[in-house]
């Protein structure tokens, strides 16, 4: 008798829960991302001995540089663990939609990135004496940018995990594709911090939303073919 196929949502949440439970037991991935992020923030803090106005103008760039590198580290490690432990083969054999694997991994990766951001932002505010990053608008842009970065990053990390040079190959493939979301995030975040008019940040905000929708849709459509390869 054929086993019933789990619902798409149930399968997605099960995969995400599995990743989160495994990580919160070991804390290997989060620890690496946090240490790396804090190190970058401290280096920028000592390197950018700038006045208040100049610091305000570079805040968005510093934060997104930190999040991009930490996110890449997390994406690489997340998929490498699945491959090395043989978990990916088990997931592919499970009677679930392959796209559920993508969304489950994306949710867990996004959670890791948001946890790191939640710790790094107060640290940055303390070191740089910058409180405008706690605005709801800034946090909204942070969420949109993170979703876009993680969606394309999860897809590309799945493609590169089979290669021997995955640690080097993922950043080479990811950063050019993620340039639009990073630039739009920096532009929108910087506008919010400096108190720009809403009309000035509307274009990068629209770009973020469109980027997220497009890459989530593309990942949904092509993930099955990617994992088959």
Number of domains comprising the chain: 1
- In this structure, is residue 127 part of a structural domain? yes
pLDDT at 4: 42
Q: What's the domain range around 160?
A: 8-228
Nearest-angstrom CA–CA distance, 218 and 158 = 14
- In this structure, is residue 161 part of a structural domain? yes
Which one-letter DSSP state was computed for residue 160?
H
pLDDT at 55: 67
- In this structure, is residue 24 part of a structural domain? yes
Nearest-angstrom CA–CA distance, 194 and 191 = 5
pLDDT at 200: 85
- In this structure, is residue 2 part of a structural domain? no
- In this structure, is residue 56 part of a structural domain? yes
Residues 72, 37 contacting (CB under 8 angstroms): no
Please spell the DSSP secondary structure of 25-89, one letter per residue.
HH-HHHHHHHHHHHHHHHHHHHH----HHHHHHHHHHHHHHHHHHHHHHHHHHHHHHHHHTTHHH
Per-residue pLDDT of the chain (229 residues; tens, 9 = 90+): 344 445 888 888 888 888 888 888 877 788 888 888 888 888 877 776 655 666 667 788 888 989 998 888 888 877 777 766 666 767 767 677 788 888 988 999 999 999 999 999 988 888 777 778 888 888 999 999 999 999 999 988 888 877 777 778 888 888 999 999 999 999 999 888 888 888 888 999 999 999 999 999 998 888 888 777 6
Residues 150, 75 contacting (CB under 8 angstroms): yes
pLDDT at 14: 85
State the chain's maximal CA–CA distance in angstroms: 71
Residues 214, 89 contacting (CB under 8 angstroms): no
- In this structure, is residue 3 part of a structural domain? no
pLDDT at 51: 59
- In this structure, is residue 1 part of a structural domain? no
């Amino acid at each position: 008798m054929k086993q019933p196929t789990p619902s798409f949502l149930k399968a997605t949440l099960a995969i995400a829960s599995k990743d989160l439970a495994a990580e919160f037991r070991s804390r290997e991935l989060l620890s690496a991302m946090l240490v790396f992020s804090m190190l970058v923030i401290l280096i920028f803090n000592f390197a950018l001995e700038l006045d208040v106005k100049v610091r305000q103008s570079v805040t968005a760039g510093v934060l997104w540089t930190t999040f991009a590198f930490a996110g890449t580290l997390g994406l690489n490690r997340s998929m490498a663990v699945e491959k090395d432990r043989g978990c990916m083969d088990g997931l592919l054999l499970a009677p679930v939609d392959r796209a559920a694997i993508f969304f489950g991994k994306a949710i867990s990766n996004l959670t890791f990135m948001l946890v790191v951001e939640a710790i790094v932002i107060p640290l940055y505010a303390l070191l740089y004496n910058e409180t405008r990053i706690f605005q709801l608008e800034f946090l909204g842009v942070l969420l949109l940018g993170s979703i876009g970065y993680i969606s394309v990053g999860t897809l590309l990390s799945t493609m590169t995990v089979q290669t021997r040079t995955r640690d080097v190959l993922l950043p080479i493939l990811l950063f050019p594709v993620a340039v639009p979301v990073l630039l739009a995030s920096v532009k929108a975040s910087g506008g919010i911090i400096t108190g720009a008019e809403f009309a000035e940040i509307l274009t990068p905000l629209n770009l973020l939303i469109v980027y997220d929708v497009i890459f989530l849709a593309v990942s949904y459509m092509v993930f099955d073919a990617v994992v088959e390869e």
